[in-house]
Amino acid sequence: MKASLVRELGTGFELAEIEIADPIGREVLVEVKASGLCHSDELAANHDLGYQPPMLLGHEVAGVVTAVGPDVTQFVLGDHVVGCLVQYCGACGKCIEGRTGLCENPAATLRGADEAPRLSENGAAVAQGMGLGGFAQQVLVHENQLAGVPEEMPWPQAALLGCGVVTGAGAVLNTANVQPSDAVVVIGLGGVGLNAINGAVTAGAATIIAIDIADDKLTRAQDFGATHVINSQTSDPIAEVMAITGVGADAVFDFVGVGPVTEQGLQMVAPGGGLYLIGLLDPTTTVAVSSLEMLSNKRRIEGVYMGSTTAKRDIPLYAKLYLEGRFELDSLVSKEISLGEINEGYASLKDPKIARVVVTNLA
């Protein structure tokens, strides 16, 4: 099959022909119909995150089931599915509690060292990023990493459900458990931040404040349902948030992940509220906090992984809300590209007018 590989860190994506195995055990073979470009894959293509090149990245995947292993119980041929990078065994203590993002044995979703690799090129193994490897014509994945969606769901929007949507909306709905009376701040209005606004609207948050440095993104945030917008380059965002809320926000979501922005976010939190860290633009970011201030005002800081998502519950839910017109996804799909244009696709994401890029031409 055709695939876009990373052969060396920092060299970008290169179109290649590789081999994909037949499904065994609980594996499902999926014909890819759409694959979204997420910044996490770009990060993995340029930094050592544990995968050894050559590697196949891409984890926002939607497609059709074309074959199943003998032990698969959840899917049949022809099912429409979305992949999710959360790998979980389903049997450990955390999984039984419903906290699949903290699975103690995520490697149970992969093949063992004594088994033939799922992906290979001229007989040599190709690393499969996040158990998916979606920048290709097909994916071979454990059934735990898939969720079914209705056939009416358009492919580009379906692909986004697997990461950007569950991460943004899930941070609001699952992690922070935002309530209708709450004031919410969303810092950073890329595709994931916009989905946090989707989540805040779904939760019925009374006040939804969107912050960015690009006016195009602020305008789009209003279309998604933000009640207030702040350009942090032209005004003091902390003062603006205090002027709107009086005491600060119940939940502040940082989708940027650089020190000065995170520190500003903490200062926007109301007593009893929380700062939720999702973005990771700078992996070296640290935040200085006053223990006395945090204790006396009962503030908290929490890291959020994949929106505390239970994929098989959340992905079908967001698909249902979208099909009912209650969840905005259409305007997230800014550009559709071919499998050989991934480098150009990532470059285009620097344009503030572009929310998300999706590979839909896989021929």
pLDDT at 284 over 90: no
State how far the Cα of 295 lies from the Cα of 289, in Å rounded to an integer: 11
Query: What is the average per-residue pLDDT within 332-356?
Result: 95
pLDDT given at position 228: 98
Residue-wise DSSP of 165-201: IHHHHHIIIIIS---TT-EEEEE--SHHHHHHHHHHH
| Cα–Cα dist 129/41, whole Å | 8
pLDDT in tens, 169-214: 999 999 999 999 999 999 999 999 999 999 999 999 999 999 999 9
Confidence category of residue 50, pLDDT binned at 50, 70, 90:
confident
Give the whole-angstrom CA distance, residue 44 versus residue 346: 13
- As a whole number of angstroms, the distance between CA 125 and CA 248 comes to 52
Asked if residue 281 has pLDDT above 80, the reply is: no
The pLDDT, as a whole number, for residue 51 is 87
Tokens of 264: 């500003």
Predicted local confidence at residue 63, as pLDDT? 98
Percent of the chain with pLDDT over 70: 100
pLDDT band at 49 (very low <50, low <70, confident <90, very high): confident
- Residue 287 predicted with pLDDT over 90: no
SS3 226: coil
Query: What are the tens digits of pLDDT across the range 204-246?
Result: 999 999 999 999 999 999 999 999 999 999 999 999 999 999 9
